Amino acid sequence: MRRWGDRRDGKLIRDIDSMHYIMPLMYPNRCDNEAYMTINVELDKTEQFLKEANATRDGKDRLTIFQVVIAAALKTVQLRPQMNRFIAHNSIYQRNNLTAAFTVKKEFADDGEETLARVVADENDTLDSLAGKISDQIEFCKSGTDQSTESMNFIMKLPFKRFIGAVARWADRRGLMPKSVIATDPYQCSIVLSNLGSIGMNIGYHHLMNWGTNSIFIIIGKKHRKAVYDAAGNQTMKRYIQISLTIDERIADGYYYSKSIRLLKKLIENPELLQTPLNEEVLP
């Protein structure tokens, strides 16, 4: 039930310690409160899982590393709810839904148009159901125009852009932006992802935005080989990807983040755990 102080996209956190109450007042801008972390994810079991799963799949039904990372990130946020919080107008809110967003390039060319994809997850979703949603979004984005892009194209034609920008920022801080504008806005989502590995790039730092409500940005790098040594000094070459996260440090503490990131790594390295619903607990 919505109470006074809640937004349509989140519930105001009322039972909160003094430090997390004060931090948004002292440090109101999201970009001033970024925590940046990097993890190395071993791919041996993940790639074997994908090979077996895709043996009987064709075309868009084939599972990908990108889908595994999205599903793992969503399950992590589902099981670690503080990761699905955001700060707006100097207050902390628990987000009402669980969403992931990413950019889709319609054509791999310098002037290829970009559009926005947004996946809305349900607590009963699994890797397979999320993979279907992701594939559908990519297919739609490559063949059509998303709602947010249509709205932005309309706004471009209006005069008095500085006035429009000021009104938009005022409405954004209070959660009053029209649904048509934020329909696929990645910065109104739980997680924003960028798959730099798909274009042959390594990970890099990506800042958060003061606009919107997004508190987590994830970058996926390209696959690479790395030497691993056992206790006897024997060397084995294994495949890895690096994943970087930029997180708003005001929504939780370092201990909570460390457990959440370990869970994310475990889920990517053991994707069979993603075949269960997002709300099903994972043993340590």
Residue-level pLDDT at 108: 64
What's CA 142's distance to the chain center, in Å?
20
119 contacts 110 by C-beta, under 8 angstroms: no
- Predicted pLDDT of residue 112: 65
The pLDDT assigned to 148 comes to 63
23 contacts 250 by C-beta, under 8 angstroms? yes
* 97 to 9, 124, 154: CA distances (angstroms): 8, 13, 27
Strands 91-95, 10-12: pairing kind: antiparallel
> Would residue 179 count as lying in a domain?
no
Residue 214 lies in a domain: yes
Q: Tokens 């649904």 — which residue?
A: 179
Q: Which residues face 240 on adjacent strands?
A: 42, 224
State which residues form the domain around 29: 10-144+184-219+246-275
CATH number of the structural domain spanning residue 111: 3.30.559.10
Which is nearest to 198 in space by CA: 54, 35, 83, 70?
70
Residue 38 and residue 238: Cα distance in Å, rounded? 18
Average pLDDT for the chain? 90
Evaluate whether residue 257 is within a structural domain.
yes
25 CB neighbour count, 10 Å cutoff = 9
Q: Which amino acid is at 71?
A: A
Q: Is residue 237 part of a domain?
A: no
**203 found inside a domain:** yes
Instruction: Pick out the chain residues at pLDDT < 50.
Output: none
Burial of 274 (0-12, 13-18, 19+ CB in 10 A): buried
Give CA torsion, residues 135, 137, 141, 143, to 10 deg.
Answer: 60
Question: Does the residue 166 lie in any domain?
Answer: no
Strands (E), 46-164: 85-88, 91-95, 98-105, 114-121
Q: How many domains does the chain have?
A: 1
Say what the pLDDT of residue 6 is. Answer: 93
154 occurs within a structural domain: no
Residue in 83, 103, 85 with CA at minimum distance from that of residue 184: 103
Whether 10 and 86 have beta carbons less than 8 Å apart is answered as yes
Looking at residue 259, what is its pLDDT? 96
Cα–Cα distance measured from residue 137 to residue 146, given in angstroms and rounded to the nearest whole number: 10
In whole angstroms, what is the distance from residue 100 CA to residue 75 CA?
Answer: 11
Over residues 93-120, the pLDDT tens digits come to 999 999 999 988 766 667 667 778 899 9
